[in-house]
Structure 1
């Protein structure tokens, strides 16, 4: 029997609530916790506490309605703009920001962020600090050269992106085009921070098996170099789970400076 075609993140209905509940939940035995929660949050804390990535405006363009990676950034950036391709992801992110009933719960991640800063008793403060720093949650479209068209945004000092390029890019050329469109929103001298899943062929959300582009560490590094980025920091963690929901072999966290 033929397998059904893989769903495409930005072309089919993507259930960001099911995605969050599967890969980012607060259960003690959650098998992806070391990879999807601790690995990115620990690295973001390291980068932003080191002081070499700084500025006024940070943009985030990530998969789903993820916000946990942004807790460390709000100690540095006072204006955070979140871009979303998926209308439901925009709604869920706004619902969390406005503390509306039924919002996805992220308190377990704000608690980890506070712990990283040595402020484990200030979880609520950390949560409010991030919500206050987020000035806009707006839609974007990678079919446009300016992905925020018709909205014109100030160039960012830093752009963060978790796994989005992986799931919206159909092939390596498409990845390069999408990466270039993100880079156009970044100031020269600004930093791009990417999280990528390496050597992956699919991931599962609810009943759906979804597309993810297969590539390795050297592909991402070469793509950044071709667009004039200099890599400042890179960390790779081998998969620490045993699940049939997703088949990535490793995760990569990479920080690069735009030189032109």
Structure 2
């Protein structure tokens, strides 16, 4: 196995955003991650939003790649969604979908999956259009700047969602805490944070590139959030079901928390 020190780093080296989607989120035969990365995420987001406490004007999304399936549920509860991306290829990929341009990644399988889960499928009409309208801005960011989106100053968010990003930008525990603190700084007092990650992982593969993943467990994730002033409202861990050697995670974790005022 390649030494972890030689793995590429997501926000430094980037990756092929389309291959990432094909490997982990597509409906193609042989894509084995549907249960872990599609179903698990969609089901838990629907559950935490259904409680009715996570809503508002602004949601900021800080996630890897250019996937959008996790935002279908969010657009029902937030007027405006701001998506932050560090990789220009991911920005172009996402804009291709938002602008309905030729060659955009196909998300019909997730739309169908969500429709099947809705109690009243009639309310699901034109979910794609609603999400496209909700995504107001797609913004580049720099993790090393005090204001990540400088010179743009973002309005405080009611909620921040971050899927798998902390895992791949953090080299160690100190990095994880530092970046989590940056994400937390985007929230209003009392705002909500939703974190999705993988446990006991060291790498994931996109095409020929093997990329670094920071290895941690559920106890660490909980401890860090509490240490940063969050109250954990919901936490689910799902043991891995995907059989593939392109990523070595052991489980997927979903945490929803709110910041103490």
**TM-score normalized by the length of structure 1:** 0.96
CA contact (8 A) 2:118 2:124 kept: no
Distance 1:23 1:115 in 2: 21
C-alpha displacement of 1:27? 2.8
Distance 2:125 2:86 in 1: 29
Distance 1:50 1:97 in 2: 28
For residues 117-146 of structure 1, the C-alpha deviation after alignment (integer angstroms, 9 at most, x for no partner) is 235467661111111111001101111122
CA contact (8 A) 1:113 1:126 kept: no
Q: Give runs of aligned pairs for residues 157-196 of structure 1, distance below 5 A.
A: 157-196=158-197
C-alpha RMSD over aligned residues? 1.6
**TM-score normalized by the length of structure 2:** 0.95
Residue of structure 2 in register with 1:17 after alignment: 18
Residue of structure 2 in register with 1:139 after alignment: 140
Residue of structure 2 in register with 1:111 after alignment: 112
Distance 2:70 2:186 in 1: 20
Gaps of 5+ in 1: none
Residue of structure 2 in register with 1:236 after alignment: 237
CA contact (8 A) 1:71 1:130 kept: yes
- Would the alpha carbon gap of residues 2 and 117 (structure 1) be closer, same or farther in structure 2, given more than 3 Å must change? closer
Distance 2:95 2:60 in 1: 15
Residue of structure 1 in register with 2:203 after alignment: 202
Residue of structure 2 in register with 1:55 after alignment: 56
- Would the alpha carbon gap of residues 199 and 123 (structure 1) be closer, same or farther in structure 2, given more than 3 Å must change? same
CA contact (8 A) 2:15 2:209 kept: no
Distance 2:179 2:9 in 1: 15
Distance 1:137 1:68 in 2: 16
State the secondary structure of the residue aligned to 1:176. helix
Distance 1:91 1:2 in 2: 30
- Would the alpha carbon gap of residues 2 and 251 (structure 1) be closer, same or farther in structure 2, given more than 3 Å must change? closer
Distance 1:111 1:235 in 2: 24
For residues 179-224 of structure 1, the C-alpha deviation after alignment (integer angstroms, 9 at most, x for no partner) is 0001000011110000010000111100011100000011111111
Residue of structure 1 in register with 2:76 after alignment: 75
Residue of structure 2 in register with 1:5 after alignment: 6
Distance 1:115 1:180 in 2: 37
Distance 1:12 1:29 in 2: 27
Residue of structure 2 in register with 1:259 after alignment: 260
Distance 2:215 2:163 in 1: 15
Distance 1:138 1:228 in 2: 27
State the secondary structure of the residue aligned to 1:180. helix
Distance 2:193 2:16 in 1: 27
Gaps of 5+ in 2: none
Residue of structure 1 in register with 2:221 after alignment: 220
- The reply on whether 1:45 has 2:62 as its aligned counterpart is no
C-alpha displacement of 1:46? 0.9
Most deviating of 116-125 and 75-84: 116-125
C-alpha displacement of 1:115? 2.1
